Chain A
Amino acid sequence: MQVRASRAQRIGVVSAAASVMAVSADTAFAKGAFPPFDPTFFASQIFWLAISFGALYWLMSRVALPRVGEVLAERSTTIARDLDQATEIHAKVEAVAKDHEQALAESRRNAQAIAQEARTASARETDAKRHATEAELGAKLAAAEKTIADRKTAAMKHVETIAAGAAAEIVGKLTGQSPTDAETAAAVKSVLSA
């Protein structure tokens, strides 16, 4: 061993590799058998393998696997249930939203109707008021016009009599003769209407 190691140091890579192989070969032959094929502990290995694998099989089949399987099954049912619940709630929410929208549309329609009614009512009222006021004003106007016409005719009558009096006086002073009322009235009338 020591000799080989020192030679390896001298000769280098190749003999280094060779020494590893040689050492292993030495050991294998020294022990008489390659350990995995050495039957000394075959019985022991099979015995302990049977015990440990048997224990493992028992633990897995009785404890671990049913438990993990249970947890997995539980989870999948939980997920399925939650999903069902979620779709149910979703459907409910959609129904509520639909109802809400319907109510909204209805109230919008109602509001429009009310607004329309109010508009027409107020328009009718205003029209009525305007008509009343117009009628009142028309009546006042007509009365005023009538008063004006009456006053005018009255005034015109006074004008004629005053003018006839004045004309008769003027003619009397100028000629010394007094014309008759009828003559002056006719003369005034012809002048005024000219």
Chain B
Amino acid sequence: MAAGGGIDPIHQFEIKPILGLRPFGLDLSFTNASLFMVVAVAVISAIMIYGSSQRATVPGRLQSLAEMLYEFVASTITGVMGRDGMRFFPFVFSLFMFVLTANLLGMVPGSFTVTSQVVVTAAFALLVMSIVLVYGVMKHGSHFFGLFVPSGVHPLMLIILVPIEVVSFVSRPISLSLRLFGNMLAGHIALKVFGGFVVALTGAGVYATLAPLPLFLAVALTALEFLVAALQAYIFAILTCVYLNDALHPGH
């Protein structure tokens, strides 16, 4: 695959172990994916912890960025869940920042996109749904399951509606994880395919004159991918808020 490595759109999603770790027969190797998870945490910490270390009343650039991110997530949470949603603030903030940073780090050429792995997005989605279930049951007890019973509906209709509500609830983690995974995967494949076109066309004699077309598309797609990277992180965060809101206020 040495020759085709440059134009293979799937190659970028391959996981390569950097440091082998096999305790109890489980492969827990530190891989390129793990490396970029750690890099993402380091970048976020640099912005949020180093940025706020001055505690300046008149903030510098990095502190402004940290404050902007803080207030953005805080306003998203209070917008969806109200004031009492702020108890989930550290979780939603960490989730949003992790997904956003992982998405944006994936845009660096040669890097690894953590969020293009379905197991990562599925883990996040399941984490969100577990928090919704655990917190909802802890806070409201059996009352939480009123979430599946729409109010003001004829009891006979509930025979149909309750299963629909249950299915929609169960499908939430699936759609939540697949949306992010699909967007990141497809975007990076598209970028690589158009980049591959440019390479293939430049080696195709007279057709090399057509090479700027996919190049232009690749540039446009790069811009689009930056938008998608930020937008999907925001969508992930706001849907998390919406689902957590069900745990906070289960009444319809």
Contacts and interface: CB of A to CB of B under 8 A. Distances in A.
A157 B209 CA distance: 155
B78 interface: no
Given A9-B205, A56-B98, A64 B29 contact: no
Interface centre among A44, A46, A74 (most CB of B within 10 A): A44
Contacts of B80: none
Contact of A43 (B27, B66, B185, B204): B27
B49 A64 contact: yes
A60 B93 contact: yes
Nearest to A11: B204
Interface centre among B89, B185, B200 (most CB of A within 10 A): B200
Nearest to B32: A41
A186 interface: no
Interface string B32-45: 01100110110011
A176 interface: no
Given A27-B10, A27-B11, A41-B27, A64 B203 contact: no
B118 interface: yes
Given A23-B8, A65-B70, A71-B67, A13 B33 contact: no
Interface string A39-55: 01111111111101101
Contacts of B118: 36-37
B7 interface: yes
A72 B29 CA distance: 41
Contacts of A2: 3
A44 B117 CA distance: 12
Interface string B43-75: 011001100110111010001001100110000
A45 B207 CA distance: 43
Nearest to A79: B57
Nearest to A20: B196
Interface residues on B, range: 35 or more
Contact of A45 (B45, B56, B119, B205): B119
Q: Binding site of A, secondary structure by majority: helix, strand, loop or mixed?
A: helix
Interface string A59-92: 1110111011111101100100000000000000
Given A12-B204, A41-B33, 13 more contacts: A28-B10, A34-B10, A43-B26, A45-B117, A46-B123, A48-B38, A52-B37, A52-B38, A57-B94, A63-B48, A69-B70, A71-B55, A71-B63
26 contacts: A5-B3, A9-B205, A12-B205, A13-B204, A16-B207, A21-B193, A27-B8, A27-B10, A35-B14, A36-B13, A44-B17, A44-B28, A45-B123, A48-B33, A50-B123, A52-B37, A53-B94, A55-B41, A57-B90, A60-B97, A65-B48, A67-B49, A67-B55, A68-B48, A71-B57, A71-B59
**Which 6 residue pairs of A and B lie closest in terms of their CB atoms, listed nearest first?**
A61-B90, A64-B48, A48-B34, A16-B200, A52-B37, A35-B13
Interface of B: 1, 3-4, 7-11, 13-15, 17, 21, 26-31, 33-34, 37-38, 40-41, 44-45, 48-49, 52-53, 55-57, 59, 63, 66-67, 70-71, 89-91, 93-94, 97-98, 114, 116-120, 123, 181, 185, 193, 196-197, 200-201, 203-207, 210
